[in-house]
Amino acid sequence: MTTPLIEARGLVKRYGTTDALRGASLRLLPGEVLAVTGPSGSGKSTLLHCMSGIVRPDEGEVRYTGGVAGAERLDQAGEGRRSTLRRTDFGVVFQFGQLVGELTALDNVALPLLLAGTSRAAAHESAGTWLERFGVRGQAALRPGEMSGGQAQRVALARAMVTGPKVVFADEPTGALDSLAGEQVMTALVHAARESGTAVLLVTHDAQVAAYADREATVRDGVVEGQDETVAEVTR
C-alpha cells in the first residue's frame, strides 16, 4: 500500500459551539489530485486548513511524510514550523487568489522565494518561468487590479508552484471565475501538477471542477464519507 503523503485521522475542529469537523479522516497520496466536495458549511475548507497547517485541529492527527525530517505531526507542530512548510513544501491557493495588491505579478510569484532567502535575480527568473507555464508571462508587470480574474488566479497558481511544493492546497480556486476561466485555471493547474509530480488537494462545490481529479471524497456534517476501499482501510 502506498504511504500517504498527508493523512488526517479523526479530526475535530470547533468554532465556539459549532463543530466544523466531527472526526474527519482523509489521506492524500503522492502525486494524486484529490477533490474534496460537499455542501456549503460541511467542513471541507476547514479540513483543508487543518491538513495544510493553517489551523490546528482540536483533536485528531495530521501526519506529513514528505519533509526532509521524515514523518511529522502537523497537529503538534508550532506556528513557525507550519509557516515554514507553507513556504517550502506546501502551496496554497484561495478562491480570490489573495495576491499582494501593491506588487506586480512577477513580484507576487517571486515573493515566496524572496522570503526564503533566494536572490532577487534568481527569484525573478523562476517567477518568470512559472508565469510562462501558466500562460500569463505577458502580465508580469501588471498588478492584480489590472488583470482579469482568470489571469490573477493563474498568477496565484504560479506563486503556489514556484517553490516546487510537494502539495498544492486549492480552496475553491475557480469559485470566483466564469466557466471558461475556471476551465483554463484547472487545466493549467492539473497539467503543471502532473509535470512536477505535485499532489493537489482541491476543495470545490463544482462537479465539473471535481472531474479533473483522480479521486473524490465528500464531506458532510464534518465527516468524510463515500471514500473508496483503499482510503477506508487507512482511516477506519
- With cut-offs at 50, 70 and 90, classify the pLDDT of residue 234: very low
Residue environment code for 202-227, b if the CB has 16+ CB neighbours within 10 A, otherwise e: bbbeeeebbebbebbbbbeebbbeeb
pLDDT value at 228 more than 90: no
Tell me the average pLDDT of the chain: 90
Residue 142, burial from CB neighbour count under 10 angstroms (0-12, 13-18, 19+): middle
Q: Label residue 68 exposed, middle or buried (CB < 10 Å: 0-12, 13-18, 19+).
A: exposed
pLDDT of residue 97: 63
DSSP H or E run through 59: strand 59-64
**What sign for the dihedral angle of Cα 39, 94, 97, 164?**
negative
pLDDT given for residue 75 in this prediction: 95
Cell numbers for 228:
473508496
Query: How high is the pLDDT of residue 233?
Result: 35
pLDDT in tens, 33-92: 999 999 988 999 999 999 999 999 999 999 999 876 678 999 999 999 999 998 889 999
Per-residue pLDDT, 66:
87
211 pLDDT band (50/70/90 cuts)? Answer: very high
Q: How far apart are CA 138 and CA 46, in angstroms?
A: 35
What confidence tier does 6 reach under pLDDT thresholds 50, 70, 90? very high
Q: How confident is the model at residue 229, as a pLDDT?
A: 38
pLDDT at residue 236 tops 70: no
pLDDT of residue 235: 32
State the cell numbers at 203. Answer: 476543495
Q: What is the pLDDT of residues 109-163, one digit of tens each?
A: 999 999 889 999 999 999 999 999 999 999 999 999 999 988 999 899 999 999 9
Confidence of residue 226 (pLDDT cuts 50, 70, 90): low
Number of helices (H) and strands (E), helices first, in the chain?
Answer: 8, 10
pTM: 0.90
